[in-house]
Amino acid sequence: MQISTLLSILRLLTFVFAVPVDKRSPTSLKYHTLDFDVVDMTPSSKRSETETIYRRTLYYFARVSIGSTKQQIGVSVDTGSSDLWFPSNDATCTNGVNCKSIGTFTPSISSTFHNLSTSVDNNYNDGNGAQGYWSKDDFWFTDGTKVEQIQFGLMTSSGRETGVLGLGAPDLEATNDKYPNFPATLKNAGIIDKTAYSLYLNSATASSGSVVFGAIDKAKYNGDLAVLDFADYRWTAITLGSVTAPDGSKVDLNIPVALDSGTTYIQLETNTARQIYQALGLSESGSASCDQLSLDTNQLTLNFAGVSITIPYKSLFYQFSGGSLCQARIYGSSGGNNFFGDLFLQNAYVAYNLDSKKIGLAQANYNDATNLVDFWF
């Protein structure tokens, strides 16, 4: 993406990205809903490859309010990391990005700010990280609810476009001295009863989604919510049993896959990706003639214990320039890690319980209805 294009998009986000909203249930269910905007940062050159199929780069932007002056900073919602962090007002931006475009934090104007005087270095798989120091200050929901002295990284150097709201388990925190991160702090403060939240990314063409802390929205999924144990994996993950191709052929896998809103597409260990390519009749690089794929009718089925999630071919492939060749949005990784990013999560409803170490999973149901209930697992 050209830097000028990115900066234009980010300047617009200063005005359009979502803010946390609070909705109280008449049954006194303890929860808070954080709405976010789905922002497509795909370069225009990629979008022009086809009207409906292209290689997308999506961000899930929300806004947090921090400090006695309720400073608002944009962050991306990330279930694959565990720390809240954002740039300071005097941060140095690296990698040619404008890391301050959707908000910075000025500690000198908050009377409740505390510098913990411990350095923090957040590194990510894409090589773009941020460095600074651990801090604490008050967090505010828009209904006036205050969460006192939440811990976050205040970054003095950042190579990312935005800060991050990490919602993963404490094991992933960027420090050996583990602390209550955002979901755990909400529980400790009595805002929610469990260190748990549910994620609804919405459809591939939607402009918004939501995280509900402390509750599950039964209106947002079809059928029953299957309850799965965390897989033995570094990240918050479940076990993928197999995949089924449109012709009914099945590839048995039994591998852990991390459910990560901070990842784009699906990334699998290289040999696993090639097994899926073969089952789908693709080349070793995961491509095929668009004409042979039946993009409007075919779907890939991902089978877990007690539930299967389908991904339409129209979302699974993007079209190369010229329109004759399509590439699967499933990529091989020489590092051997398995991440299910937004390509999967747009089609699934996922409820994460970090206390019981269980995941609720079902096919997403795209609608504006709401039916919130407490976590039962």
Domains and CATH numbers, the chain: 3-193 (2.40.70.10), 217-373 (2.40.70.10)
Which pLDDT tens digit goes with each residue over 339-361? 999 999 999 999 999 999 999 99
**Does 342 participate in catalysis according to the annotation?**
no
**Is residue 356 packed enough to be buried (19+ CB in 10 Å), middle (13-18) or exposed (0-12)?**
middle
Q: Of 352, 362, 20, which Cα lies nearest the Cα of 210?
A: 20
- Residue 12's pLDDT is 44
* Bigger pLDDT: 171 vs 307: 307
Q: What is the mean pLDDT of residues 121-148?
A: 88
What is the gyration radius of the CA atoms in the chain, in angstroms?
A: 20
Q: What is the mean pLDDT of residues 179-198?
A: 97
Single out the catalytic residue among 78, 83, 137, 138.
78
- Going by pLDDT thresholds of 50, 70 and 90, the confidence category of residue 57 is low
Q: What is the mean pLDDT of residues 270-281?
A: 97
- Residue 128's pLDDT is 76
The string over 235-271, giving b where at least 16 C-beta atoms fall within 10 Å of a residue's C-beta and e elsewhere, is: bbbbbbbbbbbbeeeebebebbbbbbbbbbbbbbbee
Single out the catalytic residue among 37, 83, 260, 342.
260
Q: What is the mean pLDDT of residues 9-27?
A: 45
Q: Of 248, 247, 191, 203, which Cα lies nearest the Cα of 33?
A: 191
User: Residue for token digits 């460095």?
Assistant: 131
Residue 220 reports pLDDT greater than 60: yes
pTM score, two decimals?
0.88
**Does 260 participate in catalysis according to the annotation?**
yes
Q: Where are the alpha helices (DSSP H) in 176-230?
A: 182-188
Residue 315 reports pLDDT greater than 90: yes
